[in-house]
Structure formats: structure tokens, C-alpha cells
């Protein structure tokens, strides 16, 4: 059974940092692109970042470029999101999600974690 379990969320002050983790199991983690997708309270879904199977390619939504860094450790079946210079508008539930094996350019998300809440507030 595919499982994705996020951790690391919490309350942080504006300008602070947080590192999210996602532990994957039930599939060959190193064979899949992975993404982080977030959802602000009561709002819709927003893709944040993704990373290629071997970590050689990474992409970000414009609003987090230069502040967030996605990474992975295939030996530990884990995905990470380092979030720096956090802003109030980064407050959201952050989900890790597995890409469908439909290629690099065109993809959907076939498995999601339960999410971890990040609250940026003073």
C-alpha cells in the first residue's frame, strides 16, 4: 500500500524557517517525480515545487522561488521542503504528492499524504 506521511509543520514567526519531511513507503520511491502542494485555510490547491527521481531537476512556483528548497533522499525514501523567509501568505496545509508516471511535462498526482499545517504568525 502506498503511503506518504508528512511531518514538521507548526507555528513559526514571519521571517522564520521550517523544514517539512515526507516519508514514503509501499512503492519504489526513487522511480517517481514528487511534488509539494499546499492549501491555504478554506482555499484551493496550489502546486509549490517538484523534484525529479534523482534530484537533478527541481522546479518552483514563482511565489516561493529563492525561499523554498525541495530535496529528497532516496536511500531514506524521504522528500523534504526547506522553507525560509516565511510569510503570512505561506500559511497552509502542505501535502506531498506522487506524480503519475505520465512523463516529465504532463502529470497528475495519484497519491497524497495527509498533510501538515504550517502557520506563519507573530
Partner 1 sequence: DIQMTQSPSSVSASVGDRVTITCRASQGISSWLAWYQQKPGKAPKLLIYAASSLQSGVPSRFSGSGSGTDFTLTISSLQPEDFATYYCQQANSFPVTFGGGTKVEIK
Task: Give residues in contact with partner 1 (CB under 8 A).
Answer: 44-47, 59, 61, 95, 100, 102, 105-110, 112-115
Nearer to partner 1, 85 or 114 (CB): 114
Buried/exposed 45-65: b ≥16 CB within 10 Å, e otherwise: eeebbbbebeeeeeebeeebe
CB of 91 to partner 1, least distance (A): 17
CB of 13 to partner 1, least distance (A): 26
The answer to whether 72 and 34 have CB atoms below 8 angstroms apart is yes
- Per DSSP, 115 falls in state -
Strand partners, 7: 21
Nearer to partner 1, 32 or 109 (CB): 109
CB of 66 to partner 1, least distance (A): 16
Nearer to partner 1, 44 or 66 (CB): 44
SS3 label, residue 59: strand
Amino acid at each position: 500500500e502506498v503511503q506518504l506521511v508528512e511531518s514538521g509543520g507548526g507555528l513559526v514567526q514571519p521571517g522564520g524557517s521550517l523544514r517539512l519531511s515526507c516519508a514514503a513507503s509501499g512503492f519504489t520511491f526513487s522511480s517517481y517525480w514528487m511534488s509539494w502542494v499546499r492549501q491555504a485555510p478554506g482555499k484551493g490547491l496550489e502546486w509549490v515545487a517538484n523534484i525529479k527521481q534523482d534530484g537533478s531537476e527541481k522546479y518552483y512556483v514563482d511565489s516561493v522561488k529563492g525561499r523554498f528548497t525541495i530535496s529528497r533522499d532516496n536511500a531514506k525514501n524521504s522528500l523534504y521542503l526547506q522553507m525560509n523567509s516565511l510569510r503570512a501568505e505561506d500559511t497552509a496545509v502542505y501535502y506531498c504528492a506522487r506524480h503519475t508516471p505520465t512523463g516529465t511535462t504532463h502529470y497528475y498526482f495519484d497519491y497524497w499524504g495527509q498533510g501538515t499545517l504550517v502557520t506563519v504568525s507573530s
